[in-house]
Amino acid sequence: MEFQAVVMAAGRGSRMTELTTGCPKCLLPVGNVPMIWYPLNLLKRNGFQEAIVIVPEMAKNEVSEARIDTKVDMKLDIVTIPSSEDWGTAESIRYIKDKIKVDVLIISCDLITDFELHQLADVYRTHSASLAMLLAPVSLSLVNAPAPGQKGKHKRVRDIVGIESHTGRLMFVNSEADFEENVPLRKFILTRHPVVQVHSDLMDAHLYLMSKWLVDYLVENENITTIKGELLPSVVKKQFYHSKTEGKNDITNMKASVTSVDPKKDIHSHKKTGEWYDLLSELSTRSNQWGSLDDCYHGDQVRCYGYIMKDGLCVRANTLGSYAEVNRLIPKIWDSVTGNSERPISASLSRSKSQGGDDSMIGEGTNIADKVTIKKSIIGNHCQLKEKVKLLNCVIMDHVTVEEGSTLQSCILCSNAFVGKGSELKDCIVGQQQRVMDLSKLSNDVILEIEKFIEI
Amino acid sequence: MASSIKSSNRKGKTDEVIQQEDIIQAVVIADSFNKRFAPLTVCKPKVLLPLVNRPLLDYTLEFLSINGIQETFIFCCSHAQQIKDYISKSSWSNPDSHMSVTTIVSESFLSMGDVLRELDSKALIRSDFILLSGDTVSQIPVRDILLKHKKQQQKDKGMVMTLVFKKALPKHKTRCLEDECVVAVEPETERILHYQKVGHKKKIEFPLTVFQENNKVTLRYDLLDTHISICSPHVPPLFSDNFDYQTRDDFIRGVLINEEIMGNTVNLHLIDDGYAAQVSNLTMYDAISQDVIKRWSYPVVPDLLSLPGGRYSYLRHNIYKQKDVVLERHCILNENVVIGRGSKVGSRSSIINSVIGHDCEIGSNVHIDGCYMWNNVKVEDGCILQSCLLANNVVVKKGVTIHAGSVLSYNVVVGPDITVKCSTLLQAEPPSVDMDEFGDNETLEPSDSIVVDPNLVGAEGKGFLFHSSCESDDENDEFPKDIWGQTCQSGSEGDETSVPDSVEELSDGDSPPPDDLRLFYSEVLDSLLRGIEEKVKWENLVLEVNSSKYAYNVTMKEVNTLVMKAILEIPKQGSQKPLQPQMYLVALKPLLSQLLPLIKNYMKSKESQLDCLSALEEFGIVNEELGVIIMKVLHFLYEKDVLSEPVILEWYSNPPVLGDVDPAEQDLLRKR
The answer on pLDDT for B508 being more than 50 is no
**Which of A230, A260, A262, A300 should be substituted to probe chain B, the one whose Cβ sees the most B Cβ atoms within 10 Å?**
A260
**A422 and A277 in a common domain:** no
Asked which of A284, A300, A330 is the last residue of a domain, the reply is A330
Query: In total, how many domains does chain A have?
Result: 2
Q: How confident is residue B227, by pLDDT bands cut at 50, 70 and 90?
A: very high
Instruction: Give Cα B624 distance to the centre of its chain.
Output: 49
Any idea what the CATH number is for the domain that residue A67 is in?
3.90.550.10
Q: What pLDDT is stored for residue A216 in this prediction? A: 87
Mean pLDDT value across residues B598-606: 76
**A93 and A221 in a common domain:** yes
Q: For residues A30 and A327, is the Cβ–Cβ distance under 8 A?
A: yes
**A187 and A64 in a common domain:** yes
Asked which of A282, A304, A330 is the last residue of a domain, the reply is A330
**Contact flag B222-A195 (C-beta cutoff 8 Å):** yes
Q: pLDDT tens, B235-268?
A: 999 999 998 899 999 999 999 988 888 889 999 9
The answer on pLDDT for A7 being more than 90 is yes
Contacts of A234 in chain B (CB under 8 A): 506, 509-510
Mean pLDDT value across residues A252-263: 35
Identify how many contiguous H helices and E strands chain A contains and give both numbers.
14, 32
DSSP state of A242: B
Q: For residues A264 and A245, is the Cβ–Cβ distance under 8 A?
A: no
Closest residue in A to B499 (Cα–Cα) = A241
Closest residue in B to A246 (Cα–Cα) = B498
Half-sphere exposure (Cβ direction) of A450: Cα atoms closer than 13 Å: 0
- Measure B514 CA to nearest chain A CA, in Å: 7
Residue A264 lies in a domain: no
The answer on pLDDT for B217 being more than 70 is yes
Closest residue in B to A291 (Cα–Cα) = B169
The pTM of the whole model exceeds 0.90:
no
The answer on pLDDT for A148 being more than 90 is no
Q: What pLDDT is stored for residue B494 in this prediction? A: 38
Q: Whole-angstrom Cα distance, residue B156 to residue B160?
A: 9
Q: Whole-angstrom Cα distance, residue B640 to residue B626?
A: 21
**Contact flag B187-A182 (C-beta cutoff 8 Å):** no
**A238 and A111 in a common domain:** yes
**A282 and A135 in a common domain:** yes
Q: pLDDT tens, B321-352?
A: 998 999 998 999 999 999 999 999 999 999 99
| Proportion of chain A above pLDDT 70, given as a percent | 84
Q: Which of B120, B194, B219 is nearest to A195 (CA)?
A: B219
The answer on pLDDT for B641 being more than 90 is no
Provide the pairing of β-strand B216-220 with B181-186.
Answer: antiparallel
Contacts of B203 in chain A (CB under 8 A): 184-187
**A349 and A325 in a common domain:** no
**Contact flag A230-B509 (C-beta cutoff 8 Å):** yes
The answer on pLDDT for A451 being more than 60 is no
Q: For residues A144 and A26, is the Cβ–Cβ distance under 8 A?
A: no
Residue A339 lies in a domain: no
Mean pLDDT value across residues B598-623: 75
Query: Side chain identity at A324, as an amino acid letter?
Result: A
Q: Whole-angstrom Cα distance, residue A354 to residue A374?
A: 8
Q: How confident is residue B470, by pLDDT bands cut at 50, 70 and 90?
A: very low
**Number of inter-chain CB pairs under 8 A, A vs B:** 151
Q: Whole-angstrom Cα distance, residue B295 to residue A393?
A: 68
Q: For residues B382 and B366, is the Cβ–Cβ distance under 8 A?
A: yes
Q: Which residues contact B533 (CB under 8 A, 6 or more apart)?
A: none
Q: pLDDT tens, B149-194?
A: 999 999 988 899 999 999 988 888 888 888 889 999 999 999 999 9
Degrees, nearest 5: CA angle A375-A381-A383 = 70
Q: For residues B210 and B194, is the Cβ–Cβ distance under 8 A?
A: yes
Closest residue in B to A156 (Cα–Cα) = B212
Q: How confident is residue A258, by pLDDT bands cut at 50, 70 and 90?
A: very low
- Helical axes B645-653 vs B606-622, angle rounded to 10°: 60
The answer on pLDDT for B371 being more than 90 is yes
Helix (H, G, I), strand (E, B) or coil at B70: coil
Q: What pLDDT is stored for residue B440 in this prediction? A: 42
The answer on pLDDT for A137 being more than 50 is yes
CA dihedral B590, B594, B597, B602 (to 10 degrees): -70
Contacts of B197 in chain A (CB under 8 A): none
Residue A336 lies in a domain: no
Mean pLDDT value across residues A25-43: 90
Of residues A176, A186, A224, nearest to B212 (C-beta): A176
Q: For residues A347 and A366, is the Cβ–Cβ distance under 8 A?
A: yes
| Domain extent at residue A374 | 345-453
Q: Which residue has the higher pLDDT, A51 or A350?
A: A51
Q: For residues A356 and A390, is the Cβ–Cβ distance under 8 A?
A: no
Q: Which residue has the higher pLDDT, A359 or B195?
A: B195
Residue A410 lies in a domain: yes
**A395 and A302 in a common domain:** no
Distances (CA, A) of A306 to A11, A186, A303, B595: 24, 20, 10, 55
Of residues B205, B493, B499, nearest to A188 (C-beta): B493
Query: Side chain identity at A169, as an amino acid letter?
Result: R
Of A225-239, A377-391, B42-56, B613-627, minimum mean pLDDT range: B613-627
Phi, psi at residue B148, to the nearest 5°?
-65, -40
The answer on pLDDT for B574 being more than 80 is no
Residue A203 lies in a domain: yes
Q: Which of B585, B40, B21 is nearest to B285 (CA)?
A: B40
**A20 and A114 in a common domain:** yes
Q: Which residues contact B28 (CB under 8 A, 6 or more apart)?
A: B57, B60, B61, B64, B72, B73, B74, B75, B132, B133, B134
Average pLDDT, chain B: 80
Q: How confident is residue A172, by pLDDT bands cut at 50, 70 and 90?
A: very high
**A158 and A214 in a common domain:** yes
Q: In the β-sheet with A373-375, what is the strand arrangement from edge to edge?
A: A355-356, A373-375, A390-392, A407-409, A424-426, A441-443
Q: What pLDDT is stored for residue B287 in this prediction? A: 93
Q: pLDDT tens, A87-109?
A: 888 999 999 999 999 999 999 99
Q: Which residue has the higher pLDDT, B597 or B137?
A: B137
Q: Whole-angstrom Cα distance, residue B462 to residue B458?
A: 8
The answer on pLDDT for B492 being more than 50 is no
Residue A21 lies in a domain: yes
Residue A118 lies in a domain: yes
Average pLDDT, chain A: 82
Helix (H, G, I), strand (E, B) or coil at B132: strand
**DSSP letter for each residue of B525-563:** HHHHHHHHHHT--HHHHHHHHHHHHHHHT--HHHHHHHH
Distances (CA, A) of A53 to A37, A57, A90, A225, B128: 11, 12, 14, 18, 64
**Among positive and negative, which fits the CA dihedral B492, B497, B499, B503?**
positive
| Proportion of chain B above pLDDT 70, given as a percent | 81
**A276 and A384 in a common domain:** no
Closest residue in B to A266 (Cα–Cα) = B499
The answer on pLDDT for A57 being more than 70 is yes
**A286 and A424 in a common domain:** no
Half-sphere exposure (Cβ direction) of B359: Cα atoms closer than 13 Å: 8
Of residues A197, A256, A258, nearest to B216 (C-beta): A197
Residue A337 lies in a domain: no
Any idea what the CATH number is for the domain that residue A404 is in?
2.160.10.10
Q: Whole-angstrom Cα distance, residue B408 to residue A113?
A: 70
Q: What pLDDT is stored for residue B486 in this prediction? A: 62
- Measure A271 CA to nearest chain B CA, in Å: 15
In angstroms and rounded to an integer, the radius of gyration of the C-alpha atoms of chain A is 25
**Among positive and negative, which fits the CA dihedral A18, A19, A25, A30?**
negative
**A321 and A203 in a common domain:** yes
**DSSP letter for each residue of B494-522:** HHHHBPPSSTHHHHTT---HHHHHHHHHH
The answer on pLDDT for A328 being more than 70 is yes
Q: How confident is residue A283, by pLDDT bands cut at 50, 70 and 90?
A: confident
Q: For residues A105 and A289, is the Cβ–Cβ distance under 8 A?
A: no
**DSSP letter for each residue of A245-279:** TTT-TTPPPGGGGTS-PPP---HHHH----HHHHH
